[in-house]
């Protein structure tokens, strides 16, 4: 994992609260396993405003890295033991034991977070500050994309509602459609059709009192019927019935 920190927070979408929220369960399980009444939390570090030092004491996994300062490591151990080490004389073997203990705690947290996150090998890294009871103990480095996906999963699924008929109608309202007026039909045999000649009068199935049909071109459905009326030199249909009135 690269230690290159990415500027936080991007566009306000990956908020401090959201990041804390998606990691809180893993942090709670971890803290309750080692501490009594100690609340572990993370907050996002704005690297543009704070200089973040990388601590030498480190626990890393594939996607998460946790580093402690000496003070942070000591705080971790003190909270786990439930007593202060202030003024206590520690032998080298004690120090090694406590270092090992702190390392196990850190490795356990890193492992829990690692299992929580989807693997992402590329992309920028977020720097999170780990606090125990509000006091900083170390820095967590996590792939930003992994956190983003975690946050996204935690968000309520947006319900996609079907667009209302009115909305759909508005969307297509301006589209052009060609309609044609049909005066009528007649049925004849192929033989009769072949025998047609100029001057023949073909009587249609529609009386003078009946309406001509308006239908969408090349479609079988009649959308309106009306009277054929000449107007301003054009053939015009004055609609008599349309839509549901036709049924």
Smallest gap, in angstroms, from Cβ of residue 242 to other proteins? 4
CB of 239 to other proteins, least distance (A): 4
176 binds other proteins (CB under 8 A): yes
Q: Is 163 in the site for other proteins (CB under 8 A)?
A: no
Told to check if 167 binds other proteins by CB under 8 A, we report no
Q: How far apart are CA 243 and CA 223, in angstroms?
A: 6
Structural contact between residues 117 and 142, judged by C-beta atoms closer than 8 angstroms? yes
CB burial of residue 174 (10 Å; 0-12, 13-18, 19+): exposed
Q: At its nearest, how many Å lie between other proteins and the CB of residue 199?
A: 6
Question: In the structure encoding, which two tokens stand for residue 71, read together?
Answer: 């003070």
Residue 245 contacts by C-beta under 8 Å, 6 or more apart in sequence?
none
Residue 203 contacts other proteins per CB under 8 A: yes
Q: Are 246 and 227 in contact (CB under 8 A)?
A: no
The yes or no reply on residue 183 touching other proteins (CB under 8 A) is yes
C-alpha pair distances (Å), 127 with each of 50, 51, 142, 144, 205: 11, 11, 7, 9, 82
- Name the residue nearer to other proteins (CB basis): 107 or 223: 223
Binding to other proteins by residue 205, rule CB under 8 A?
yes
Pairing of the two strands 135-143 and 234-242: unpaired
Q: Which of 48, 208, 220, 221 binds other proteins (CB under 8 A)?
A: 208
Choose one: 1-9, 64-72, 93-101, 214-222; the region binding other proteins (CB under 8 A): 214-222
Q: What is the SS3 assignment for 72-127?
A: HHHHHHHHHHCCCCCCCCCCHHHHHHHHHHHHHHHHHHHHHHHHHCCCCCCCCEEE
Which of 52/246 has CB closer to other proteins?
Answer: 246
Q: In the window 37-96, what residues touch other proteins (CB under 8 A)?
A: none
Of 88 and 209, the one with the shorter C-beta distance to other proteins is: 209
Q: Is 239 in the site for other proteins (CB under 8 A)?
A: yes
Judged by CB under 8 A, the residue of 39, 58, 103, 206 near other proteins is: 206
DSSP state of 227: E
- Binding interface with other proteins (CB under 8 A): 169, 172-191, 193-194, 196-209, 212, 214, 216-218, 223-224, 226, 228, 230-231, 233-243, 245
């Amino acid at each position: 994992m690269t230690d290159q920190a990415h500027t936080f927070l991007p566009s306000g979408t990956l908020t401090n609260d959201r990041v804390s929220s998606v990691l809180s369960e893993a942090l709670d399980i971890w803290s309750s396993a080692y501490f009594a009444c100690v609340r572990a939390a993370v907050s996002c570090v704005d690297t543009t405003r704070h200089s973040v030092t990388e601590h030498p004491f480190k626990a890393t996994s594939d996607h998460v890295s946790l580093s402690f300062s000496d003070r942070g490591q000591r705080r971790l151990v003190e909270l786990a033991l439930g007593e202060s080490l202030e003024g206590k004389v520690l032998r080298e073997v004690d120090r090694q034991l406590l270092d090992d203990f702190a390392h196990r705690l850190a490795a356990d947290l890193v492992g829990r977070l690692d299992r929580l996150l989807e693997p992402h090998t590329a992309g920028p890294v977020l720097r999170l500050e780990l606090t125990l009871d509000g006091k900083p103990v170390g820095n967590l480095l996590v792939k930003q994309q992994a956190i983003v996906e975690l946050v996204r999963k935690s968000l309520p699924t947006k319900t996609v509602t079907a667009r209302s008929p009115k909305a759909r109608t508005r969307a297509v309202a301006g589209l052009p459609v060609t309609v044609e007026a049909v005066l009528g039909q007649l049925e004849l045999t192929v033989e009769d059709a072949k025998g047609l000649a100029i001057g023949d009068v073909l009587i249609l199935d529609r009386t003078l009192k009946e309406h001509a049909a308006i239908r969408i071109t090349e479609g079988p459905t009649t959308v309106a019927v009306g009277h054929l009326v000449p107007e301003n030199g054009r053939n015009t249909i004055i609609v008599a019935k349309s839509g549901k009135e036709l049924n």
